[in-house]
Chain A
Amino acid sequence: MESMKILVIDDEAHITHVVSLKLRNLGFEVVTAGDGEEGYELARQHKPDLIITDLQMPYLTGLEMCAKLKALKETSHIPAILLTARGYALSPADLDRTNIKEVMSKPFSPRGVAEKVEEVLKECGGATEAEAA
């Protein structure tokens, strides 16, 4: 678990800072990005085990970025958690075109995010490894 890599994307620097701090304290390797486009590039580059992303961001929204990543073979297996300040419910179409597994609302608890990360990694770990292989 310690070697797992998580990409955190938010245009609010304090949010990426606090989330990455919590995850690093739990032993995860964390990469951060400040907008959707940067997040997309870092996901392709690092191929993280999980992505935590904001919804409304410059250049690419969280949904658009996740959809682009799912469309790419090399990143299609990466699960994502949407962390948003807008009340947002994923439509079946959103679920279908992205690999978003959970939606969390702001304000959030870093403990809550950590628990959700472990749940998603546990749920997707087998599939992720199998697909990656």
Chain B
Amino acid sequence: MRSAVIVNLFLALGGALLCAGVTLLVSEHVIDLEGSRAWALLGAAIGAIGAPIFATPLVMSMSRSLASFEADLRASVEVEGAEPIRTTGLLATSRRAVDELRATLVDRAQALTTKVREGEIRQHLGEAEREHLETVLNSLHDAVIVTDAFNELKLANEAAASLLGFDAGDSLHQSIDSVIGDDELRKMIRDESATASVGHRKRTDHQFPQFAHGGAEADAPTACYDVTLACLPDAKKGAGGVVTILRDVTQEREISQVKSDFVSKVSHELRTPLSSINAYLELLVDGEAQDEDARQEFYSIIRSEADRLSRLIDNMLNISRIEAGIVKIDRTEVDFKKATEKAVGVIVPQAALKEIAVTVNATPLACTAMADADMVQQVLLNLLSNAVKYTPEGGRVIVTVDNDDHEGAVLVTVADTGLGIPPDALPKVFDKFYRIENYKRVAKGTGLGLALVKHIVETVHHGVVTVTSELGMGSKFTFTIPYEYEGA
């Protein structure tokens, strides 16, 4: 600044001297008068002295303005991290310097514009990726929750919001304490976050109450969820939060339990007759039967238990084949009146032992349907056998055979005056291996007879089997077999 002022003073002085000289020369050549020459010299002297005096403040003011302008300009275009703009004070006073500065500014502006565009593109891409991620997450049946290092909700899909009863949009960036109502799940997330170990994974089963919209119902059933928790990295590769994935495995666990129960029941049912066979054989081998009568009794028991085992295996295999759809079905025109008479003929000796009267009431009209004759016989025998087994001595069994033209099916009922079925047991009587506990002593059974009846009637023949009963008064089983099955 100071050097600029000095330079300007010299320039002003030089200018003044130049003006004085020019004035003198003009005076000498143009005004060649004795008196005028002296005046001219005086004017030149005054010009030489006055010009710097008047010019210097003007020049200094201009210099200060330009310097200030340059400084302001430079400050306004400085970009953090960018190389500083190099100018000198003298440049501020030159056109070239301003041009250079303008060119630099244009470059910087273009660079900034490019960066802004790149930023906008990245932002759009980021938003698109987030939307895509949200779409993917929302399409999942599994609930996904992402929390940050402060255990605040960062991301959650619709399944998670539905399961845990919160609003996915309103709950973002809120603490899990105010979003997740389940204490155990919150603890799991906090514990996983506390491990602060990127890549750490934990899997566990957890029971959840089934949530309705807005919260759990008081008597809501529980669902079993497979919970996976994984510690996530943050931008600096440190532990930055937790992703929690909850998969509903209720059905899988139930199926697994059903399978386990089935194997357990099969095992129990097979072991029971096998136990008798094994034990009586050992007594025979050890000579513990006291006489021939005892030995004959043992042989008879072994035979009957072996038959029981055989029936059990046959029933199990038949049900399995029907369930697997691999049973061979031989459809012919079955006369249900004849089929019923045949089955009654088989069961009458057993009924006679208990003085139970078995009556058949059949329609005088023809009563036929396209069906597998052996399987129909199996159904009739199972129902009649049950009726006789659970009817006390002197009771009655009545079989009715008729046509249900409205339904287009043969209709058969087997009614008895037996023990009847308790109301709570009625829905379960067709289940595999189900036996009414208190009736086990009344009669033996595999618990598969009615399950097989249901499969033969409904799965194989597309009919319907139902039961009504009054405890102590008797039971009535009804089944229908369509005259023709179009899908056959």
Chain A interface residues (CB < 8 Å from chain B)? 11-12, 14-15, 18-19, 21-22, 25, 34-35, 56, 58-59, 85-87, 105-111
Contacts and interface: CB of A to CB of B under 8 A. Distances in A.
A112 to B, nearest CB: 9
A85 B283 contact: no
Interface stretch (B100-108, B189-197, B268-276, B362-370): B268-276
Interface string B241-282: 000000000000000000000001001100110111111101
B337 to A, nearest CB: 38
B283 A110 contact: yes
B271 A107 contact: yes
B288 A34 contact: no
Main SS of chain B's interface residues? helix
Interface residues on B, range: 20 to 34
A59 B437 CA distance: 8
* Dominant secondary structure at the A interface: loop
Interface string B409-439: 0000000000000000000000000000110
A3 to B, nearest CB: 21
Contacts of B335: none
B283 A14 contact: no
B441 A14 contact: no
B278 A109 contact: yes
23 contacts: A14-B276, A14-B301, A14-B305, A15-B279, A21-B283, A22-B283, A25-B288, A34-B441, A58-B440, A58-B441, A59-B437, A85-B267, A86-B267, A86-B268, A106-B271, A107-B271, A107-B275, A107-B277, A108-B275, A109-B279, A110-B282, A110-B286, A111-B282
Interface of B: 264, 267-268, 271-272, 274-280, 282-283, 286, 288, 301, 305, 437-438, 440-441
B276 A109 contact: no
Contacts of A19: 279
A106 B441 contact: no
A12 B276 contact: yes
Contacts of A105: 271
Contact of A22 (B288, B301, B440): B288
A85 B286 contact: no
Contacts of A86: 264, 267-268
A109 B288 CA distance: 13
Given A85-B268, A87-B267, A107 B274 contact: yes
B288 A108 contact: no
A21 B288 contact: yes
B441 A35 contact: yes
Contacts of A85: 267-268, 271-272, 275
Contacts of A108: 275, 278-279
B136 to A, nearest CB: 45
B438 A110 contact: no
Contacts of A56: 268
A87 to B, nearest CB: 7
